Structure 1
Amino acid sequence: MFRSKGRTWKRLTIAMVAVLAFSVMAGCGKKDESKAGNDTSAVVATYEGGQITQNEFDRESRIVLALQPQMEQFLQLDDFREYLVKQQIAYKYLDEKADAKIKEAGKKKADEQYKAMKEAYGADQFKAMLDAQKVTEKEFQDYMVRIYTVLESQLVLIKDDEVKAEFEATKDDYTTASVRHILIGFQDAEGNEKYTDEEALKLANEVKAKLDKGEDFAALAKEYSTDAGSNANGGLYENAQVSQWVEEFKQAALTQPINEIGDPVKTTYGYHIVRVESRTEKKFEDLTDTEKDLLKTQVASAKLDEFMSGELEKTIIKKIDLPKVEKETEGTEGTEGTEGSENTTTPETGNNAGTETNTNTNSGK
């Protein structure tokens, strides 16, 4: 199914902790020489009570690269590199400030998550994932303990009324709907242009006219819809969270009168003829414990954002001295460095990458 636009890299903060979806940096193929007491690499950042060395920075970057290899495209951005080192400082600083109770809770959750991840990937694949980036399991576990310790340090600050306020601000995201639609897509399955905007809209209006005359929605979806995720099912997505959809389709699901066929809705994929068959709005009391925990984590994310842009930058960080990215010189095109941009060159890769830079992601599966 078509999904809503993802977060930009500047939103990769504590809200992503549950899946450890952070970003990457340079040095991804180098061995780490920064063993305890033996790190002689340059200091790239200093902060109140500590410092970050180049080896520490590279090691943590390789860890997150193992988890999110598609983020490699950002490693040529100096401002992204700086954001990452600030994030690393924030986690080290808060981890160092955590008391014994918080550290114990963080380690427990990290151990649970580590075990779950290893089982989900399979032991061999998980090890291969780390080996590819020259990361040991101990280094990865230490990373997770630090991240989850910081998460715990933020969560204990959250009050119930803050969680409820977050729900009120985002409650549309918890609405579920059964939506039947027909997509007249701009592209075919191979990513080639199928219809121009004018052609797609014309056909969408013709299909809507057939529906208005009483023709069967499911049959027309099978005949016309280019959404591989639903056309075989008569165009139906049943009891789905509207938050997963692109904004225009989400708004149709939220506002269109039940069982009425609306005018074609344009998204980056094409024109959708939509019929909302049911819609269920949740109250705070209806949320599961997991959903409430997610809301709490979102509040913690906002607090960490405030910390990073406020106290961290203004008083805690003393100096950042990261090496600038070396830009490719003329005549080097087509050599090393082109592989990282692979996800922007083909429709197939773009459709499956799921990164924030690709706003036209059609999962269709």
Structure 2
Amino acid sequence: MSKKISVIALTAALAMSLMACNNADSSAKKETSQAQEVSFPKLERNELEKQNEVVTYKGGEVSGKEFADYLAFQGFVNPDAPINEKEFQKEVLNHLVMEEKITQEVKDDQWASERADELWEQISASYDEKTRKKGYETLSVKEETIKNHLLNYYKVEQYFREGLTDKDIQAFYEDVSDEVTGLTFQHILVATKQADEEGKEKEVRTDEKAKKIADDVKNQLDEGGDFSKLAEKYNEDPGSKKTKGVYEQMPLSQLDGEFRDAAANQKIGEIGEPVKTDYGYHIIRVDKRQKKELKEVKDPIMQQLAIEKMNNYMKETLPSVIKETNI
């Protein structure tokens, strides 16, 4: 399976990070309106808080109060989290044990502290003061507790980042070459089938007819025809109809099959022969193909690799660390 550079949410804190980033371009008015609509879950804390130990592990234990606070944190950063469901609780309890074990190993947490502060700013941009206060009251949790778990999340990531080697990073970078290679190209699709208003595909012309039209368009281009004008007339790709067939800085990974091969290998500025795909025939001209340098994507690569190491720790190491669970 091909690896992709992505932010995989190990905890709801990271999901919150994504939500905040997606809202970053919104106006303050829109952000306030969205924040006021947040409905936080009510945590059933009483039974949990009665337990002295919900889990014991090598080197420590988690009390019911501590676990309730962690569930409240989860509910705060992700109001859709099913914090009262047992399966969810068992999963995040494992996260909490990992957090408590790993954070003990982090001596200098400056990097983690800076990341946590940045995330808190994003949360504050999504949740106004009134909404944050509502969250604290509904979940019976303190702001200090939320911030502390944000910090601990990044301390865990920092720990696994520090274990990465240059060889690890370089290998991943090479493995995700398609994800970090951006293309700007112009194409004309002569379709054999299209989706109707209900999303069902229907045939619009035979393969033979589509190939004949595509060959004719290619000939016109070879004779000096204007690509944009011909795209206005012939291009049947809904995604680029308004741009005269142009896509800018599209990751190579988003292209499939013969189209991907042509886009990856055609000479810059060259108009290739019609390429057949499931939707018809494409005439493609690649105008720019640029792979990001390692230094441009090093941070998200390190983040992804660290998260993979977290997942491996959860799967391979944590079971031997936990002694007894009482939920």
Range into which the TM-score falls when normalised by the shorter chain: 0.5 to 0.7
For residue 296 of structure 1, report the CA deviation from its aligned partner: 1.8
Asked if 2 retains the 8 angstrom alpha-carbon contact of 1:263 and 1:273, the reply is yes
Are residues 303 and 82 of structure 1, via their aligned partners in 2, closer, same or farther at CA, if it must alter by over 3 Å?
Answer: same
Q: Which of 1 and 2 has greater Rg?
A: 2
Q: Which runs of 4+ in 1 moved over 6 A?
A: 4-9
Q: Determine the structure 1 residue equivalent to 2:243.
A: 233
1:157 is aligned to 2:168: no
Instruction: Report Cα offsets for 1:248-275 as digits up to 9, x if no partner.
Output: 4883465342431442333xxx557351
For residue 145 of structure 1, report the CA deviation from its aligned partner: 0.9
Instruction: Report Cα offsets for 1:7-41 as digits up to 9, x if no partner.
Output: 999x5438x9496459xxxx96214748xxx9326
Residue from 61, 77, 93 that aligns with 2:74: 61
Asked if 1 retains the 8 angstrom alpha-carbon contact of 2:6 and 2:300, the reply is no
Instruction: Report Cα offsets for 1:301-345 as digits up to 9, x if no partner.
Output: 2222222221112x11224455xxxxxxxxxxxxxxxxxxxxxxx
1:275 is aligned to 2:275: no
Residue identity matched to 1:260: G
Tell me the secondary structure at the aligned position of residue 159 of structure 2.
helix
Q: Determine the structure 1 residue equivalent to 2:272.
A: 260
Unmatched 5+ stretches in structure 2: 20-38
1:282-301 alignment runs, 5 A limit: 282=291, 286-288=293-295, 290-301=296-307
Following the alignment from structure 2 to structure 1, what is the Cα–Cα distance between the partners of residues 133 and 217? 52
Q: Determine the structure 1 residue equivalent to 2:62.
A: 51
1:214 is aligned to 2:220: yes
1:148 is aligned to 2:145: no
Asked if 2 retains the 8 angstrom alpha-carbon contact of 1:181 and 1:275, the reply is yes
For residue 60 of structure 1, report the CA deviation from its aligned partner: 3.6
Instruction: Report Cα offsets for 1:97-134 as digits up to 9, x if no partner.
Output: 322x13x4322321133224434x37469749957974
Q: Determine the structure 1 residue equivalent to 2:101.
A: 93
Q: Determine the structure 2 residue equivalent to 1:350.
A: none
For residue 278 of structure 1, report the CA deviation from its aligned partner: 3.4
Unmatched 5+ stretches in structure 1: 323-365
Following the alignment from structure 1 to structure 2, what is the Cα–Cα distance between the partners of residues 241 and 182? 19
Tell me the secondary structure at the aligned position of residue 179 of structure 1.
strand
1:30 is aligned to 2:42: yes
Asked if 1 retains the 8 angstrom alpha-carbon contact of 2:15 and 2:78, the reply is no
Residue from 44, 49, 68 that aligns with 1:39: 49
Are residues 200 and 32 of structure 1, via their aligned partners in 2, closer, same or farther at CA, if it must alter by over 3 Å?
Answer: farther
Instruction: Report Cα offsets for 1:47-79 as digits up to 9, x if no partner.
Output: 33123646245324313424xx5x87xx9895x
For residue 141 of structure 1, report the CA deviation from its aligned partner: 1.9
Q: Determine the structure 2 residue equivalent to 1:13.
A: 10
Asked if 2 retains the 8 angstrom alpha-carbon contact of 1:130 and 1:136, the reply is no
Tell me the secondary structure at the aligned position of residue 214 of structure 1.
helix
Q: Determine the structure 1 residue equivalent to 2:24.
A: none
Q: Determine the structure 1 residue equivalent to 2:27.
A: none
Asked if 1 retains the 8 angstrom alpha-carbon contact of 2:211 and 2:281, the reply is no
Are residues 200 and 152 of structure 1, via their aligned partners in 2, closer, same or farther at CA, if it must alter by over 3 Å?
Answer: farther
Q: Determine the structure 2 residue equivalent to 1:325.
A: none
Q: Determine the structure 2 residue equivalent to 1:179.
A: 185
Q: Determine the structure 2 residue equivalent to 1:308.
A: 314
Residue identity (%): 18
1:109 is aligned to 2:115: yes
Asked if 2 retains the 8 angstrom alpha-carbon contact of 1:242 and 1:253, the reply is no
Residue from 296, 318, 326 that aligns with 2:323: 318
Are residues 114 and 195 of structure 1, via their aligned partners in 2, closer, same or farther at CA, if it must alter by over 3 Å?
Answer: same
Following the alignment from structure 2 to structure 1, what is the Cα–Cα distance between the partners of residues 187 and 219? 16
Count residues with an aligned counterpart: 290
Residue identity matched to 1:257: Q
Are residues 161 and 59 of structure 1, via their aligned partners in 2, closer, same or farther at CA, if it must alter by over 3 Å?
Answer: same
